[in-house]
Amino acid sequence: MKIIFSPSKEMREENIFENKKIEFTESKFKAKTNILINTLKQKSIDEIKNIMKLKGELLNKTYKGIQDYDKLKSIPTISMYYGVSFKELELEDYSEKSLKYLKNNLLILSALYKLISIYSKKARGKFLNYLIKNQINNLEDIKEVELDKYSLNKDLSDEKNFVFTRKNS
């Protein structure tokens, strides 16, 4: 089973897993990522601003991150992100078994995408945290998850795409 998770704009430059007995593998898309980064490195800060729709401190951090990519690429992606969804993960507290589950099941999308609303990001983080802590490995168990008034909406879901909606009470 694979869990696909969206990245965040907020990042840290530290490997929080340095003292854990687990090594994360390099991205399967390393070659394509390097092509993209090398292209972005040639862009001015104004061009990055227009491409990524960023401004202020976030623009400056992103631009610096692109320029310093070679220093940052040794940090596991899951350790680097620190946005709303990722703050819901208890990464530092995960057992080696949970980290192995994370390593084998989690795919994080490219950071070059448009973010969605704050609450849904927080809910995604809580949902992923639940899957990791409970070692969920099959689709039937995912369908049964109820968390923060979110549950499977059978009308909007199909056999491959599960949509969870929040019930107002």
Residue with tokens 């990519």, as numbered in its chain: 69
| Residue 122 · residue 95 · CB < 8 Å | no
Q: What is the pLDDT of residue 148?
A: 86
Can you point out the beta strands (E) in 34-140? 106-108
Q: What is the pLDDT of residue 45?
A: 94
Q: What is the pLDDT of residue 81?
A: 83
CA-CA-CA-CA torsion sign (12, 14, 20, 25): positive
3-state secondary structure of 164: strand
pLDDT along the chain (169 residues), means of 10: 79 77 70 82 91 85 84 75 87 87 81 48 84 90 89 85 78
Q: What is this structure's pTM?
A: 0.55
Q: What is the pLDDT of residue 73?
A: 63
Residue 138: both structure tokens together: 């099959």
